[in-house]
Amino acid sequence: MIQLAFVCTQNAARSQMAEAIGRHLAETRYPGLRVCSAGARPSGKVNPNAIRVIEELGISMESHWSKSLDEIDSDALDYVITLCDDAAEHCPVIPGATTLHWGLEDPACLQGEGEEVLAAFRMTRNEIKRRLLRLLATVESEIF
């Protein structure tokens, strides 16, 4: 079994999308995978555009909430993946966990709900999925 945590500053968009995609992959392809997310300074809410673009994939984010690092079981983690430079700087070292940094632009920095904003969220979602699938392919023997 492999346990991953995705960390960004607010735990509102990038890390939430990564958690949702990871959990979906755990349900459909990688039963030995456990995924969570957290924020260095959680916002307390999940970005509605993140919810929308994840639901376009048929994945529900109904049970998601913005949480802090203190709310996840860091002792059980195998990988911590930071998704922004701020989180990489403020994420504590988790003994026994491998830390990876996937610096991704924050689509939530764009204002509004128009197609340009949704396109940025979709690009981030797709990049997260691509990187996650690549990571899982390299650690697949540890998952089963």
Q: Which residues are catalytic?
A: 8, 84, 91
Helix (H) or strand (E) holding 34: strand 33-39
Residue 41 DSSP class? S
What whole-number distance in Å separates Cα of residue 44 and Cα of residue 65? 7
- Beta strand 98-101 with 2-8 is unpaired
Residue 106 DSSP class? -
Query: Who contacts 1 (Cβ-Cβ below 8 Å, separation ≥6)?
Result: 32, 33, 34, 142, 143
